[in-house]
Amino acid sequence: MVKPRVLVTRRWPAAVEARLSEQFDAQLNLSDKPLAPEDLRAALRKYDAILPTVTDKIGAPALEVDKPQTRILANYGVGYSHIDLEQAGRQGIVVTNTPDVLSECTADLAMTLMLMVARRAGEGERELRAGRWTGWRPTHLVGTKVTGKTLGIVGYGRIGQEMAKRAHHGFGMRILAYNLHPVAPEVLARCDATQVDSIDELLPQCDFVSLHCPGGEANRHLINAHRLNLMRPNAYLINTARGEVIDEMALSHALSFESIGGAALDVFDGEPNINPTLKNSGRLVMLPHLGSATREAREAMGFRVLDNLEDFFAGRDPRDRVN
């Protein structure tokens, strides 16, 4: 039987690349450079499956290819706001993602950011490495206690719930949840969480706010100047979701005018380019999109893509189909 032709757009963990090459006629990307838009369009005419990541912008123009050969975009990653699902659907292309397997690690990283920004860990490390540390003193880099505070979670899905678990059971935090749809009472009860009806109602009650909603146009600038103003002046904002969810100019202003306590971001609008105004703030922790970056999660994500491909090419509906 002829093996399906599969294009992998970035380097993947070695064990997954090896399995892919056994099972499929796989074209790996040994240079690990993101595909140019014209290469992507050419690939849609050539490969049965393309396995993209968040660095491949597959909007409507990229998908406007006459009679594509590609029948599935099996995304490596849970977020898929970089793919135009409607246009893919119109072209008869199935789209899948990799949920579940990265939820714990992404929540671990959101906790890392929350602790770093509250305890001024980034500032401390920068000071020490620059040789500016003059020794212990009672007033040095005094931060904010995390244990027992109130955490607002925007998007109470798989990752949001993992974040709540860590914060509530590990740090005794009170959990407030905002979610587009009602959350089942038994799910809220696991962390003694209270669901609120709107983000505007959530923000003024929180010491920390962590974003776990999808990106994309629907949630662009969900956190804007008006909502930053609703946050407490000493509250912290954490984003491991997608950069576009925050209006970064409004965040820069809020940080410069100290209308919030600080922020910690793993994702940026237009990443890897960073809005230069963000770099001016000492009270901002920034990481380069590391949410799922553990050996365990990255392998599991790759194997989950393989599961989706196996289902698809065996004529079954892939378990992680999103369109």
Q: Which residues of the chain form contacts with ligand O=CC(=O)O (CB under 6 A)?
A: 54, 77-79, 102, 291-292
- Helix 103-118 to helix 295-313 angle, to the nearest 10 degrees? 150
Return the number of the residue (291 or 318) whose C-beta is nearest ligand O=CC(=O)O. Answer: 291
Cβ nearer to ligand O=CC(=O)O, comparing 263 with 297: 297
Sheet holding 49-51, edge to edge: 25-27, 5-8, 49-51, 72-74, 94-96
Q: Which of 70, 292 has the CB closer to ligand O=CC(=O)O?
A: 292
Distance CA 234, CA 232 (A): 5
Contact 130, 188 (CB under 8 A): no
The set of catalytic residues is 242, 271, 289
194, β-bridge pairs:
176
CA dihedral 73, 298, 102, 261 (to 10 degrees): -110
| Cβ distance to ligand O=CC(=O)O smaller for residue 223 or 297 | 297
Kindly state the smallest distance separating residue 82's Cβ from ligand O=CC(=O)O, in Å: 9
Task: Let me know: does 17 contact 76? Beta carbons within 8 Å.
Answer: no
**Minimum distance from residue 292 beta carbon to ligand O=CC(=O)O (Å):** 5
Residue 197 CA, chain-centre distance (Å), reads 23
